């Protein structure tokens, strides 16, 4: 499990796309799981979870298009 002290969508996206599946925690945002190189919503998601997943997955798509 990777822990991020700061929420930086590009850094989180690089981590998720490299490892492909696992778990991570972002201070102030909560815990997340990722599978198939994309971030997934937690079971009891709140608004901040939806925003985080949307931003990170958008960054992952941008990384894939640039490659």
The predicted pLDDT at position 67 comes to: 72
- Determine the Cα angle at 25 with ends 48 and 53, to 5°: 40
CATH number of 2-66: 3.30.1910.10
pLDDT by position in tens, the chain (length 67): 999 999 999 999 999 999 999 999 999 999 999 999 999 999 999 999 999 999 999 999 999 998 7
The predicted pLDDT at position 66 comes to: 85
The predicted pLDDT at position 14 comes to: 95
């Amino acid at each position: 499990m990777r822990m991020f002290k700061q929420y930086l969508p590009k850094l989180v996206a690089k981590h998720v796309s490299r490892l492909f599946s696992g778990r991570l925690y972002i201070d102030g945002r909560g815990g997340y799981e990722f599978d198939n190189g994309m971030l997934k919503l937690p079971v009891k998601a709140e608004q901040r979870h939806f925003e985080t997943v949307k931003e990170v997955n958008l960054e992952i798509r941008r990384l894939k298009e640039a490659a």
